[in-house]
Amino acid sequence: MTDPLERVRRPEYTGENRCWPCTVTNSLLLSVLVGAVAILGRRTAAAAIAVVGAGAIALRGYVVPYTPRFAPRLVAALPIESFDYGEPAGGTGSLSDSSNTSDAATDAAAPTGEAVLGELLEAGAVVAEGDEIYLSSDFQDDWRREVRTLREADLATLAAVADEQTPPSIEARTRRGWGRPVLVLEGDDVEPVTLRRGVAIPELAAARALESRVESGAIRRAAGRPLRSLLEACPLCDGELTVNQSSCCGEVTPIGKTPTEKLVCPACNERFFIFDEEH
């Protein structure tokens, strides 16, 4: 018989995936509600709400409907230090950000988008048809195989893979902060780069799949970001990806701005590419 709790459990919002802004916001709202009911003299009702609400937050990640949509905005409006979502403001951390290092004398630093595309075309990893770029079926198979291997790995193993794929001066470590656990790439001459699991897996897998095709490590790392835009299946669950404009947890669209288009997995509540990102 299945555990009845399993039916209410939402793994996509709990455990490793727990979103702390949502949890904090919900716990605050819940305590306000419990307090209000208690003040009205309904002690039993207040206790029941507290138990059910805390249980729901523990099992489902949040209790107030649509919290992932409003909590980030609410939190952003509060006069407290903003939550760390494991990525720099305005963009998504990428393996390529670790290439801007001075020991890249042999490993051309920060290759241009044109250079990356040129190498990928030459290596037969992508093919051009008119204005469109597609993955070659060979490379797609290899990339997918690497993604499936890395998907099974824990964050510490991903950090070890990142160490192999980055210059020696870059140190990869794991960090569990307010948001989801992330990989952090640190070096003396570079800003620390944080990678969510949903970015680390496809980018590291791409770098590995390119090893036999592209000689330059900087190009292999820089290829990760553009290649993410060509993902067809979710690197985390193999589910279908969709392009949407809705804000998801951890992001705030300034008033008057249109949300950008994103390649997301609705099942994992994870985004893999932002189509107008500037770099």
Cβ of residue 271: shortest distance to Zn ion, in angstroms?
Answer: 11
The rounded distance, in Å, linking the Cα atoms of 80 and 72 is 12
The smaller minimum CB distance to Zn ion, of residues 22 and 265, is found at 265
The smaller minimum CB distance to Zn ion, of residues 200 and 236, is found at 236
Binds Zn ion by CB under 5 A, chosen from 37, 185, 193, 234: 234
Stretch that binds Zn ion, among 23-31, 35-43, 101-109, 232-240 (CB under 5 A): 232-240
The reply to whether 268 sits near Zn ion by the rule CB under 5 A is yes
| Residues 232 and 241 sit within 8 Å (Cβ to Cβ) | yes
3-state secondary structure of 40: coil
The reply to whether 58 sits near Zn ion by the rule CB under 5 A is no
Look up residue 247 and give its two tokens. 């804000």
Cβ of residue 12: shortest distance to Zn ion, in angstroms?
Answer: 9
Cβ of residue 158: shortest distance to Zn ion, in angstroms?
Answer: 17
The reply to whether 63 sits near Zn ion by the rule CB under 5 A is no
Tokens 């099974």 sit on residue: 152
The reply to whether 264 sits near Zn ion by the rule CB under 5 A is no
Site size toward Zn ion (CB under 5 A) is 7
Tokens 């990102």 sit on residue: 277
Binds Zn ion by CB under 5 A, chosen from 5, 28, 45, 237: 237
HSE toward the beta carbon, residue 90, CA cutoff 13 A: 2
- DSSP alpha helix (H) spans, the chain: 4-8, 20-39, 43-60, 67-77, 113-122, 137-151, 155-165, 197-210, 217-222, 224-228
Q: Which residues contact 176 (CB under 8 A, 6 or more apart)?
A: none
Cβ of residue 236: shortest distance to Zn ion, in angstroms?
Answer: 4
Binds Zn ion by CB under 5 A, chosen from 239, 240, 275, 279: 239
The reply to whether 231 sits near Zn ion by the rule CB under 5 A is no
Phi/psi at 34 (nearest 5 deg)?
-60, -45
Cβ of residue 122: shortest distance to Zn ion, in angstroms?
Answer: 32
Binds Zn ion by CB under 5 A, chosen from 158, 265, 269, 273: 265
Tokens 């093919």 sit on residue: 127
3-state secondary structure of 17: helix
List interacting residues with Zn ion (CB under 5 A).
234, 236-237, 239, 265, 267-268
